[in-house]
Amino acid sequence: MTGSEFKTLRQAAGLTQQALADLAGLNIRQIQRLEKGDVSLGDMVAKNLFAIADALNVDPRNLIEKAEV
């Protein structure tokens, strides 16, 4: 999943970057880096990936199936 696809997913969930970060227990900078494409979801620690998936109410596999590795 590209950064822009991730951003679209977050926006579709009605969340700001800060709200997603808070729900996932992450730093907002991590969300910003994902959206800019500086970090790939496929490269994330599993704990963080699952936290983001839970916050977005999506299957974690959907986040990484199209991850650019």
**Is residue 54 assigned to a domain?**
yes
Domain count, the chain: 1
Dihedral over alpha carbons 14, 35, 1, 11 (to 10 degrees):
10
pLDDT by residue for the chain (69 residues), tens only, comes to 889 999 999 999 999 999 999 999 999 999 999 999 998 888 889 999 999 999 999 999 988 876 544
In a domain, 69, yes or no: no
Say how many CA atoms lie within 13 Å of 53 toward its Cβ.
Answer: 18
The one-character DSSP state at 42 is: G
Domain around 34: 3-64
Q: How far is CA 59 from CA 3, 29, 38, 39, in A?
A: 17, 23, 22, 19
Tell me if 13 is assigned to some domain: yes
**Which CATH number covers residue 43?**
1.10.260.40
Answer whether residue 15 is part of any domain: yes
pTM attached to this predicted model: 0.88
Residues in the chain, overall count = 69
